[in-house]
Amino acid sequence: MEALAMSGRVGPTGEDVKDPDGIKKHQNHQQNSGDVLQQIMTVAAENLEDTQARKHALSCHRMKGALFDVLCEIKEKTAFSIESIKEEEEEEEEEDVPDSPNPHIIRLDNMLLAEGVVGPERGGASAPVVVMAAGALLEDGTLEQAQYRGKLAHIRQIYHAELEKYEQACKEFTNHVINLLKEQSRTRPVSPKEIERRVAIIHRKFSPIQIQLKQSTCEAIMMLRSQFLDARRQRRNFDKDTVDVLNEYFYAHLANPYPDDDDKEELARKCCMSVAQVTNWFVNKRVRYKKNVAKHLEEAKLYASVSSIGSEGSSPATPNSGGPDGEL
């Protein structure tokens, strides 16, 4: 209220306030400020043109500066307590905000980081097509791995594009609100602290969108993983040339169809498959041959004639038994 006491020496109505009578001066002040407050109260009920005219009149008023200060002070005192209560309530309601990160969000962040969706890009992740093309020729990297990386890079791209959109929208809305508040600050007291509080509220309201984006991205990664890492869903029959090479070896070593590590590697190289796949193929072949020898006889004859080495026996033996009459 000091602001009012220290305000100009000329009254709003223009009369002389140098009156030595302090009571009269005080009454004048009261009446003047009452008038201005009354004008403010009636502004809301008026149409736009009247309001603009009234606003202009108010902003030109000699008492405006002093009254504005007074209103700021009152608002600081009253609104501050209300806001602080509100904030406490909001904090209680919204525990899922980034200000108080919960384990779920931490898990999402960790997964995004582990998969390289956030954080530093991993060698060419931004160029999935190149990765996919080159990936087929990489060390142990199969075409599937290259496709996995390519799709992961695509998810990364989408995530960052959406994140950018989100940040842009949040920023635009925040700026819009700040501008509105600044605009309003010409006719009503708006403290920087209030602007700060409003911005914080906007960010809190926007954060669930960001969490949803993270959640969706993680779900996409999980789906991709299950799609690519479960080989059974990826199963492809080996092509005929591959099966020919394997069958040739199998029937050529029918007495002991247990390729050693060197042979497995050689076959894997020849057939463009992994050693594990060669091992699987022989496991399946042995058991299925044994289950139906009769059915495989024709096949045995065919590959026996193809193979220059020739069959060592008509029945597969147990590993390293060496004998042609061994059992599987």
Partner DNA sequence: GTCAATGATTACTG
Partner DNA sequence: CAGTAATCATTGAC
Interface residues toward DNA, by CB under 7 A: 230-233, 235-238, 243, 258, 276-277, 279-281, 283-284, 286-288, 290, 295, 318-319, 328
Q: How far is the CB of 325 from DNA (least distance, A)?
A: 15
User: Judged by CB, which is closer to DNA: 135, or 257?
Assistant: 257
Q: Is the distance from CB of 311 to CB of 257 less than 8 angstroms? A: no
Q: How far is the CB of 195 from DNA (least distance, A)?
A: 55
Query: What count of other Cβ atoms lies within 10 Å of the Cβ of residue 202?
Result: 17
Report CA-CA distances (Å) from 148 to 70, 123, 214, 220: 65, 14, 19, 12
Query: What count of other Cβ atoms lies within 10 Å of the Cβ of residue 120?
Result: 7
Q: How far is the CB of 316 from DNA (least distance, A)?
A: 7
User: Judged by CB, which is closer to DNA: 214, or 296?
Assistant: 296
User: Judged by CB, which is closer to DNA: 116, or 323?
Assistant: 323
Q: Is the distance from CB of 248 to CB of 307 less than 8 angstroms? A: yes
User: Judged by CB, which is closer to DNA: 237, or 308?
Assistant: 237
State the Cα–Cα distance between residues 13 and 35, nearest whole angstrom: 10
CA dihedral for 11, 15, 19, 22, sign (positive or negative): negative
User: Judged by CB, which is closer to DNA: 35, or 263?
Assistant: 263
Q: How far is the CB of 86 from DNA (least distance, A)?
A: 53
Ramachandran class of 290: left when φ > 0, alpha when ψ lies in -120 to 50, beta otherwise: alpha
Task: For helices 103-114 and 192-229, give the axis angle rounded to 10 degrees.
Answer: 60
Q: How far is the CB of 323 from DNA (least distance, A)?
A: 14
User: Judged by CB, which is closer to DNA: 251, or 281?
Assistant: 281
User: Judged by CB, which is closer to DNA: 119, or 319?
Assistant: 319
User: Judged by CB, which is closer to DNA: 68, or 148?
Assistant: 148
Q: How far is the CB of 273 from DNA (least distance, A)?
A: 7
176-185 in b/e burial notation, b at 16+ Cβ within 10 A? eebeebeeeb
Q: How far is the CB of 144 from DNA (least distance, A)?
A: 10
Q: How far is the CB of 122 from DNA (least distance, A)?
A: 24
Per residue, what are the HEC states of 174-209?
HHHHHHHHHHHCCCCCCCHHHHHHHHHHHHHHHHHH
Establish how many alpha carbons lie within 13 A of residue 26's alpha carbon, considering only the half-sphere containing its beta carbon. Answer: 4
Q: What is the DSSP letter of 62?
A: T
Q: Is the distance from CB of 223 to CB of 191 less than 8 angstroms? A: no
User: Judged by CB, which is closer to DNA: 163, or 243?
Assistant: 243
Q: Is the distance from CB of 58 to CB of 40 less than 8 angstroms? A: yes
Q: How far is the CB of 309 from DNA (least distance, A)?
A: 19
